[in-house]
Amino acid sequence: MTHNTPLSPRPLHHLAETHRRVLTRAQLRSHGVPPAELDAQCRPGGSWQQVLPGVILLHPGPPTSEERLHAALLYAAREPASTVPSQARAEGPHRPAFPEAMVTGLAALTLHGFASSPSLLTLDRIDVLVPRARRLRSTSGVRVVRTPAMPTPRQVTGLPVAPVPRALADAVRQLSDAETVRRLLTEAVRAGHCEPASVVRALNQAKLLSRPHVVDAVDALLAEGRAIAEDRLYEMVRGYGLPEPVWNVDLRLPGGPHLGGLDAYWPEQAVALELDTRAPRQDEDALWSEYARKREHLERLGITVVHTTPKKLRNAMEQQAAVVRTALMAAGGREPAAYVVVLPRS
């Protein structure tokens, strides 16, 4: 058989395992399928079908969810994914299969395992993230989302998928239902996909915090994140045998000004713990200045301040417990702290 001999669909079955029988026109040509044969196979009643511009499904039935994802990525990728094993070996193990394209939005959240996102079969479009400079149009079945800086994708079922914060921002941009937005944001934190701060940062970068229903959902998100972080803080103190502090208190100088609220305080050792659950919004610098002023004031009074974050409590709880234990043990070698009044946080 010469290079120009037309091929039927049969010899291409060996590609199904890696590409779910979805290929581009260029890939089919590289396998020896001439344009006339390809067009004949894609006519009504033929064995193949064009599901997106330049993307061919090698069977006549409706595409599966996996095939829709592969088709969307093949359409959006800068160059066709390799289909020939020898080519893949020549390209190297670290070359992306779908250059400059990744799944984002609701489809990405579904792939990340969100229970509150719809099934892939019910989505009218697959959102695909590409660099801003790409000249690529949205089409039936695929919405092109542009970004000035591509995030590092996560590999989910072998496909490049946008990280949860970015996928959330792209999904929320298309949603007007407040309850749906709230469920998605809350699940992101409750299920441990990411921290509230990373979600708010992504929403802020996408300029979505001016939408009232998004702001309301963010407030619910921050409350959820705060409650989870406080539970981890209780777990750290009790799980690592630290002395029991007084929880959620305000400090005041006797007859003097309010010094600030604390999440935990050990009066005998004059050690304070503050849980930083600030969200990165437009007023972040002002909030940080307030935190810094409070810390400096307490330390001038001889009170040691331990600063931690929800992320540190989640990923390095033992290390954070060691930091607190060290501060408590060092109390005996310090000058006595100023007397302060400890009150329940209002």
State the pLDDT confidence band at 251, using cuts at 50, 70 and 90: very high
pLDDT in tens, 69-112: 999 999 999 864 444 443 433 344 455 679 999 999 999 999 99
From the number of C-beta atoms within 10 Å of its C-beta (0-12, 13-18, 19+), residue 79 rates as exposed
Query: Which single residue is written with the structure tokens 């407030």?
Result: 219
pLDDT in tens, 152-167: 999 999 999 999 999 9
pLDDT in tens, 69-78: 999 999 999 8
Considering the entire predicted model, what is its pTM? 0.78
Percent of the chain with pLDDT over 70: 86
Asked if 310 contacts 195 with a C-beta cutoff of 8 angstroms, the reply is yes
The per-residue pLDDT for 79 is 66
pLDDT score of 186 more than 90: yes
Asked if 324 contacts 271 with a C-beta cutoff of 8 angstroms, the reply is yes
41 phi, psi to nearest 5 deg: -70, -25
Average pLDDT over residues 250-256: 89
Q: How many CA atoms lie within 13 A of 313 on its CB side?
A: 27
Nearest-angstrom CA–CA distance, 6 and 47: 15
| Rg (the chain; Cα; Å) | 28
Q: Which of 77-81, 275-279, 325-329, 331-335 has the lowest mean pLDDT?
A: 77-81
Instruction: Print the SS3 string covering the chain.
Output: CCCCCCCCCHHHHHHHHHHCCEEEHHHHHHCCCCHHHHHHHCCCCCCCEEEECCEEECCCCCCCHHHHHHHHHHHHCCCCCCCCHHHHHHHCCCCCCCCCCEEEHHHHHHHCCCCCCCCHHHCCCEEEEEECCCCCCCECCEEEEEECCCCCCEEECCEEECCHHHHHHHHHHCCCCHHHHHHHHHHHHHCCCCCHHHHHHHHHHCCCCCCHHHHHHHHHHHHHHHHHHHHHHHHHHHHCCCCCCEEEEEEECCCCCEEEEEEEEECCCCEEEEECCCCCCCCHHHHHHHHHHHHHHHHHCCCEEEEECHHHHHHCHHHHHHHHHHHHHHHHHCCCCCCCEEEECC
The per-residue pLDDT for 2 is 44
Q: Which of 10-19, 158-167, 297-306 has the lowest mean pLDDT?
A: 10-19
Kindly list the structural domains of the chain, giving each domain's residue range(s) and its CATH number in brackets, ordered by start.
10-174 (no CATH), 241-344 (3.40.960)
Asked if 63 contacts 22 with a C-beta cutoff of 8 angstroms, the reply is yes
